[in-house]
Structures are given as C-alpha cells and as structure tokens.
Homo-oligomer: A and B are copies of this chain.
Amino acid sequence: VILKLNAKANETDISRLVGRLTAMGLQVAVNRGEPGTSLAVVNGLDATVRPDLFIHLPMVEEVTPFNRKFKLASREFKSQRTVVRVKETAIGEGSFTVIAGPCAIESEAQIQAIAEAVAKAGARVLRGGAFKPRTSPYDFQGLGEKGLKFMRQAADANGLLCVSEAMSPEHVPLVAEHVDIVQIGARNMQNFELLKKAGLCRRPVLLKRGLSATYMEFILAAEYLLSFGNPDVILCERGIRTFETYTRNTLDLNAVPVLKNLTHLPIAVDPSHGTGLRDLIRPLARAAFAVGADALMVEVHTDPDAAVSDSQQTIGTEAFREVMKDLTRLGPALGRPLDAKAAPLSKSGADHLGGRVPT
C-alpha cells in the first residue's frame, strides 16, 4: 500500500513512522517527492496486518493499494519522473543523452581512439565491455579489470562518463569501482542474485531488457534494484526475439511510451543490438529520439570491420557523426535538447526511494 503523508510531515515524523512500520516487520520505502512525501509498504503484509487501519497512523492522509506487482517503479508511488544524475549529466526528462563506444574493450589504444572520436561527435557516455557474456565458451571473454582501467582513463581524458557490464554478483563491486554506470545485460535481466547485488551498489544501473522479457517482467527486474535500495535505474530497450531472422532482434519502440506510462524511470534505446545491422542504426536512432526515449546507446568503433565482436552491428565514427547530425536537427522539433548539461537540475534523486534496510 501507499501511504500519502500530510504536507506538514517533517523528517522526524517520517523516520518515526518508518520505524514504527519496520518494527511491524514491514519493508518500507520513502518517496520525498512533489507534492509531498509518500511511503510504500512493499513487503511483509500478511493476514495479521490490516492496511486499512494505517489511515489512523499520525501524518497519514491517504492509503491506496498498489494496482500491480511492481510498486517502487510505479507512477502511483512516484509521479515525478526519475532523473538519473551522474556528475553533470542528467539522464531523464528534458534531454537526450548519447552513449557510444565499442562492444568490447580490446586494448588501451582502441578505447582511447574511440572515446576521443565519440566525445568530439557529441556523446556524453562511453560504453564498452570488459566482461563479455558470450554464447560460446570459445569466444573472446573480455579483458576484465584491465579493460575497466583502460576505459576509465579513456573516459576521463575525453570528459565522458562510462558504463560497463557486470556479469555476476562478484563483479559488481569491481565494475562499480571503475565506472559511473553499471550495466546489467539482457541475458542477466532475471539473474536475481546479480540484481540484488546491483541494488546494493552505489552506482546508477542501466538495465537491459531480456531477449524475451515482457514489459511486466522488465519492470519487476527494475523493482529488484529499487527494492534493494538503488533508486537510479535506467531501463534499456535493446530488441526482442521474434520469428524474424533477417535482423538479429526486433527493436521494440512500443516499449518506450509503454514504460513511460507505467514507470517513472528513464528509458534508453539500443538500436545496435536491436537490429544487429549497421545500416539500420541511423534511422532507428532518429525513431528512438522521436518516440520519446531519454538516451541512445550505440556501438561505435574506429574500425568496425575489425571489431572482435558484434562487428556487423557496429558503425564507424563517420557514420556516428551522421547519427549525431540527425539527432541535433531533430532536437528543436521535438522540444528537447541533445546536450544533457542543459537539463534542469532537480532535487537529489539519491534518497527519493531510500529507507530500506536490505536483508
């Protein structure tokens, strides 16, 4: 249930109330939003608790049940849109952030060259895999920690943020140490132990949609992250598995307005994995912006044909500049600037879903 508090409730009132509910064995989250603070009781309700009586608790003005299985991710609980802030970049309502870089970090020189190229063209975040989830055990498995260090240097040297994937619970602290945003890959969207660990880390998480995950399952995976205390979740549509074989996946742009309607989280779109074909990235990048996504994630390489993985869906730096030119032209028509720095600064998002004592 959601407990909407009186506008006069101060921090002491809130923490007293949270303490009281927690003492009842309930799991509670707090949203200090506009207009006013709400508490979500997300777990622990059983036959011994009568939620209708919560209306009699001090400062509680309204008690409403959740409509769906997801709670903290819902707009009922948090009507303002989440803006994920990393340093000076704000991912969320009001701007369009471009994340670019190679599928895999291959060498120090490679990631440096690509970082420089994508930064010049206007990207804000560098992507690159250090731990690679590969279908075959015989394929290149990534450079590991060494790769993360190369990436950090390349990002810093070019004024970029960076994002990389953690593939198992043990990886999370290591990846979080080196990068600004921790990625959970599509194949791990329902690796629940990994989600729990990422929920406990102090970095924003970019969560990719599973190959055949429904919207509900996708949001519930995000709910794992939120319920373990991490409020900074970016959802990423990256193509779903369908009967079609000409493309690697089918990029599902329906997902963007659906997820915007159901959740308050920002949405990224990855047309590289979403199509698997280089030629399709430019038009689908435009479509992702036009449909209302908050960020674009795209695989770029200085020598795409020589990329050790995902070569067919990786564009060169020249093609990436064309993509950026299209997006720059579209920005004004969509009423949204490309430059993330221009986004209005909201209150700190870091605590808006806090209050959980993870078990």
* A169 close to chain B: CB less than 8 A: yes
CB-defined contacts of A332 to chain B, threshold 8 Å: 333
A49 CA / B257 CA spacing, docked (Å): 42
In angstroms, how far is the closest chain B Cβ from the Cβ of A35?
24
CB-defined contacts of A247 to chain B, threshold 8 Å: 254, 258
- On chain A, which size bracket covers the interface? 35 or more
Query: Which positions 36-90 of chain A face chain B at CB distance < 8 Å?
Result: 42-43, 69-71
CB-defined contacts of A250 to chain B, threshold 8 Å: 240, 242, 250, 252, 254
1/0 contact string of A155-197 vs chain B (CB within 8 Å): 0000000000001111100000000000000011011111000
Given the known interface contacts A211-B212, A245-B214, A245-B245, the answer about A137 and B257 at a Cβ–Cβ threshold of 8 Å is no
Complex contact A261–B244 (CB within 8 A): no
| Residue ID in chain B nearest A243 by CB atoms | B241
In angstroms, how far is the closest chain B Cβ from the Cβ of A40?
11
Number of chain copies forming the complex: 4
Query: Which positions 321-335 of chain A face chain B at CB distance < 8 Å?
Result: 329-330, 332-334
A197 CA / B345 CA spacing, docked (Å): 45
CB-defined contacts of A190 to chain B, threshold 8 Å: 133, 135, 187-188
* A25 close to chain B: CB less than 8 A: no
CB-defined contacts of A279 to chain B, threshold 8 Å: 257, 261
Q: Which of A92-100, A117-125, A223-231, A302-310 contacts B (4 or more CB under 8 A)?
A: A223-231
A250 CA / B181 CA spacing, docked (Å): 30
Complex contact A227–B137 (CB within 8 A): yes
Complex contact B167–A168 (CB within 8 A): no
Within the complex, which residue of B43, B134, B193, B241 is in contact with A192, where a contact is CB–CB below 8 Å?
A: B134
Interface centre among A241, A245, A329, A333 (most CB of B within 10 A): A333
CB-defined contacts of A287 to chain B, threshold 8 Å: 253, 287-288, 290-291
**Nearest 9 pairs between A and B by C-beta?**
A168-B193, A212-B212, A290-B290, A333-B333, A287-B291, A187-B190, A287-B287, A286-B290, A257-B283
14 additional A-B residue pairs with CB within 8 Å, beyond A137-B192, A168-B169: A43-B137, A137-B228, A167-B193, A212-B241, A214-B245, A241-B243, A245-B245, A247-B254, A250-B252, A250-B254, A251-B253, A256-B283, A286-B334, A287-B288
